[in-house]
Structure 1
Amino acid sequence: MNPSMRKAFLAARRTGIGGSDIGAILGISPFSTAVDVYLAKTEPPPADEPTEYLYWGHAVEPIIIQRFSEEHGIEIIQPDTIARHPEHEWMVANLDGMIPGERPGVLEIKNVNTFSAKAWGLEGSDDVPLTYVAQVAWYMAVKNYDYAVIAALFGGNEYREFRIERDHELEAILIDAGREFWFKHVLPQIAPEAKTLSDVASLFKRDDGRVLEADDALLDLYTQLKSAKAQAKHVVGNIELLETKIKARMGESATLRYQGQPLATWKTQASQRVDIKAFEQAHPELCQQFRKTSESRTFCLK
């Protein structure tokens, strides 16, 4: 996808709920939250800087599509525009491909790393992560298709296909959730409830200097947090003590084992990093040129 197409794609995504959004809205996505989706729809888009993960995902997509075409002897249709539901304009779909035929279907492409492969089932099954089930179910609803195929490449060298049949009951649940999110949060610009520390950091980037008087409920949360942190401090201290004793016994040994079974390793690993202090002393003007001020909020219990 070239820069101009990607810019148009990102702009179109802001006009509705897409398949990659619905899993986050339902709280089943490991990649993003409902707050992330809300901010993506309501805040000015950030500078487009695709991650390595996204870059390679897009780079291998044509290769996986080609493999699917070869396996089935058909030419996949690759839409160049975002699809929109005929009745619910806020439902959008950015399809990787459309499988032609009397019964057309959705083709979704996934580039899966080795660590994530365990969440996927056998070739030909519908055993895929829930967030992807929701994604293709959304696409089927938008396009009124009866099935979807997820073509996935695992670890760069293992190809598998998964078939998902249309489920109207699931579809109704997704549409209700998407509708509520769009009309109760996005349009009136009322943020959904924060579920993670990342959510609150994204929603409340700066303080306004006010003092908030705690009520009984907030005081109870404070007490619970302070107690939990005290317990965690004790646990962390105990972990450090035990690790220190084990490492002291290991000395310069690389591996610890018991009756032939490895228990732990403590191996030397080389790493490289930029010595910022030395660089600043050697090139103060250049360092100043690339210095960037960032803001964050620090939370401290008293």
Structure 2
Amino acid sequence: MDIDAKIHNEYVTNLAAQHNVAEMSEEEAWHFNRRMGMGGSDIGAILGLNPYKTPLQVWKEKVGEVGPDQAGEAAYWGTQLEPVVAQEYTKRTGHKIQRINRVIHHADMPWMAANIDRIIWQNGKAPVVKNKIRSKHLLECKTASPFAKEWGEENTDEIPHSYWLQCTWYLATLNADICDVALLKGGQQYLQYRVERNPQVETMMIERARQFWVDHVIAGVPPEPTALNEVNEFFKKDNGQSVLADHETQVSIEKLKELKSKIKALEKLADVHETKIKKCLGEAANLIDNHGNKIATWKAQNSNRFDGKGFKAAHPALAKKFMKQNQSRVFRL
């Protein structure tokens, strides 16, 4: 066992000792187990290739600073439709499949974890015997909107980067050879893709994940923020000092000034066109085209808002009691 595996085992043992897993619900236990290593859905994020999650968000989930993201509509229906997609895969390929309802860890690098959708029978043999995985063929089931452009030609590996990395991670973790990806697009189009092992990418990916796990999660050191909201949260206060701008930062300042100027000009142009459209609408609620299709609306909408000014005038003492001073950093160019 290498040093990283020893450090990992000590970390997860201490983590488990701090929580009563026996009293957790099945869902709570599943999410807690995801904190025991790096999974396939984490890889795209820590490599900056997941548009929906950043490295800092992954770190916060791993150390328990925040809970897992609440599944949105797309993720919810993706889970609900997973058995349907898997069944269609079997129907079209003739492959017998089996669900693995547990997290699987790499034999030698236990911080590598995989929670695969299905595993495929090979040569008529059961893929799992006495909890030991012996199949080299995996299956991932996905759903996507009919407008998703990241999916390429069928029967290739042209799938979204984060999914490709997820499949590659699973192949490495389970020492498998092939991961088929079954996709239900728009709820009415079935497509199929295939990801095969890529040793070069695999080596890079494992090293980056190892560094993230050891240097950030186990060490308790957050990675640098990569999104604007994270930078704002990370650096809430200023120390009043000055720092010298390097060349890259100076270039960013000029680019930002240029972009803000363009945005301002575009907003003015947008106002001109919105004015024309609203003048055409007048007091009408709907704007339609020659075929009667609704192309714009301008309707009254009620909303309830707290009248702070009125409350302060009516109850000055009470308003003063609940006044709270907030401080935030203001960015100017």
**Contact 1:250/1:256 (CA < 8 Å) preserved in 2?**
no
Kindly tell me: are residues 119 and 300 of structure 1, through their superposed partners in 2, closer, same or farther at Cα, counting changes over 3 Å?
A: same
Kindly tell me: are residues 270 and 254 of structure 1, through their superposed partners in 2, closer, same or farther at Cα, counting changes over 3 Å?
A: closer
**Contact 2:152/2:158 (CA < 8 Å) preserved in 1?**
yes
- The 5 A counterparts of 1:206-217 are 207=236, 211-217=239-245
Q: CA deviation at 1:73?
A: 2.4
1:268 has 2:297 as partner: yes
Q: 1:107 aligns with which of 120, 139, 145?
A: 139
The one-letter code matched in structure 2 to 1:267 is A
**Contact 2:85/2:141 (CA < 8 Å) preserved in 1?**
yes
Q: What is the RMSD of the two structures over their aligned residues, measured on CA atoms?
A: 3.3
1:247 has 2:268 as partner: no
Q: CA deviation at 1:91?
A: 0.5
Q: 1:96 aligns with which of 103, 117, 132?
A: 117
Q: CA deviation at 1:217?
A: 2.4
Kindly tell me: are residues 233 and 104 of structure 1, through their superposed partners in 2, closer, same or farther at Cα, counting changes over 3 Å?
A: closer
**Contact 1:226/1:301 (CA < 8 Å) preserved in 2?**
no
Kindly tell me: are residues 165 and 46 of structure 1, through their superposed partners in 2, closer, same or farther at Cα, counting changes over 3 Å?
A: closer
Kindly tell me: are residues 23 and 202 of structure 1, through their superposed partners in 2, closer, same or farther at Cα, counting changes over 3 Å?
A: farther
Greater Rg over alpha carbons, structure: 2
Output the TM-score relative to the length of structure 1: 0.77
- The 5 A counterparts of 1:1-302 are 4-46=25-67, 49-102=70-123, 104-116=136-148, 118-201=149-232, 203=234, 207=236, 211-217=239-245, 227=257, 231=261, 234-244=264-274, 246-247=276-277, 254=287, 267-268=296-297, 275-277=303-305, 298-301=328-331
Q: CA deviation at 1:47?
A: 7.5
Q: CA deviation at 1:60?
A: 0.6
Q: CA deviation at 1:248?
A: 7.0
- In structure 1, list runs of 5 or more residues that go unmatched: 258-264, 279-295
Kindly tell me: are residues 270 and 172 of structure 1, through their superposed partners in 2, closer, same or farther at Cα, counting changes over 3 Å?
A: farther
Q: CA deviation at 1:272?
A: 6.9
Output the TM-score relative to the length of structure 2: 0.70
Question: In structure 2, what is the Cα distance between the partners aligned to 1:167 and 1:58?
Answer: 28
Question: In structure 2, what is the Cα distance between the partners aligned to 1:271 and 1:153?
Answer: 39
**Contact 1:107/1:148 (CA < 8 Å) preserved in 2?**
yes
Kindly tell me: are residues 183 and 255 of structure 1, through their superposed partners in 2, closer, same or farther at Cα, counting changes over 3 Å?
A: same
The one-letter code matched in structure 1 to 2:26 is M
The one-letter code matched in structure 2 to 1:77 is Q
| Equivalences, count | 272
Question: In structure 2, what is the Cα distance between the partners aligned to 1:244 and 1:52?
Answer: 32
Q: CA deviation at 1:221?
A: 9.0
Residues 218-249 of structure 1: per-residue CA shift (max 9 Å, x gap):
99699659845862564245324542565378
Kindly tell me: are residues 101 and 222 of structure 1, through their superposed partners in 2, closer, same or farther at Cα, counting changes over 3 Å?
A: closer
Residues 154-198 of structure 1: per-residue CA shift (max 9 Å, x gap):
011111110111111111111011011111111111111111113
